[in-house]
A = this chain, B = another copy of it.
Amino acid sequence: MKIGDLAKRTGLSTHTLRYYERIGLLPYADRDRSGQRDFDASILTWIEFLGRLKTTGMPIRDMLRYAALRDEGDATGSSRRQILEVHREQVRTQIAELQECLLVLDTKIAGYASDEQRTKENDARPNARRKPLRSRTAGPVTH
């Protein structure tokens, strides 16, 4: 499988795929006689799993640790399991935090909701006037 095809299948750019290989997140792919990468189809599973790790906020450096252990073979199974168990716990925490935030958002939105009738709460502005600022800090102001 060529890199372009893999890109289409995974939604990653060819640039990103090469980058991943370069840093060791993907195994070094076979090259055909003209030097082009020929990916094994099984790479799809691995990339998908990496996607899960990424979605759940695992930094690349940790994925690299995991990938390295994977390369070392069977003996590293329990280390890998441990990494995943620790990570799973972080994901659980993350979900709990988000759910808490969701409640706060609900409350806040409810405060704005009541029939376009303004409540004090949602409009409280701490320190009076806000300085426009943004002199040399930013360019054409995109905000």
Contacts and interface: CB of A to CB of B under 8 A. Distances in A.
> Which bucket holds chain A's interface residue count?
35 or more
Contact of A113 (B81, B112, B122, B134): B81
Contacts of A46: 126
A17 to B, nearest CB: 13
Q: How many copies of this chain are found per oligomer?
A: 2
A2 interface: no
Main secondary structure of the interface of A (DSSP, over half): helix
B55 A97 contact: yes
A112 B142 contact: no
Contacts of A124: 42, 45
Interface of A: 22-24, 27-30, 39-40, 42-43, 45-46, 49, 52, 55-56, 61, 64-65, 67-68, 70-71, 73-74, 77-78, 80-81, 84-85, 87-88, 91-92, 94-95, 97-99, 101-102, 104-106, 108-109, 112-113, 116, 118, 122-134, 137-138, 142-143
